[in-house]
Amino acid sequence: MVQMRSSLGGIPVQRVMLTNFRTLQPDETLAQAVEQILAGWQQDFAVVFGDHVLGILTREDLVRAIARGGTDLLVRDAMGRDFRSVDSHDMLEQAVQVLRQSGCRSLPVEHNGELVGMLTLENVGEFMMIRSAMRHAEQAVGTARAIA
């Protein structure tokens, strides 16, 4: 945990957030949400009306709602309305704490009230792996130069 905190310190959320993501509208059907899941990599969706985030539809919420009432139900009937969001200028360390406390895999990222990204533990982990690999590469290059 200490290592993770030191790795995340001083990094704004905007450097790590997903910017290529899909949203859902509250009046779309769960069948349309299923199509979105099957068409790509995304499992959780911000549900928006205009620029306003109304809720989050997680894969678990989707599956529960389908089991309860089928794919003709609307996204608004299955989405979670009790969600947290972070600002793109927040520091990643604090955002990861919010993400863990929320109990959700994904958080909407907003700036000035507008949805600008999504933050997931998966992309935070990928960022850390890539950053670690880059550090190792820099060290290897530095060692090779020192030997030469």
Domain ranges of the chain: 2-147
What is the chain's pLDDT, residue by residue, as a tens digit (148 residues)?
445 555 677 899 999 999 999 999 999 999 999 999 999 889 999 999 987 999 999 999 999 999 999 999 999 999 999 999 999 999 999 999 999 998 888 999 999 999 999 999 999 999 999 988 988 888 876 666 666 5
Determine how many CB atoms are found less than 10 A away from the CB of residue 98. 16
pTM for the full predicted model: 0.84
Q: Hey, what amino acid is at 145?
A: R
CATH class of the domain comprising 2-147: alpha beta
Tell me if 59 sits within 8 A of 67, measured CB to CB.
no
Q: Can you tell me the distance from the alpha carbon of 124 to that of 131, in angstroms, rounded to the nearest whole number?
A: 10
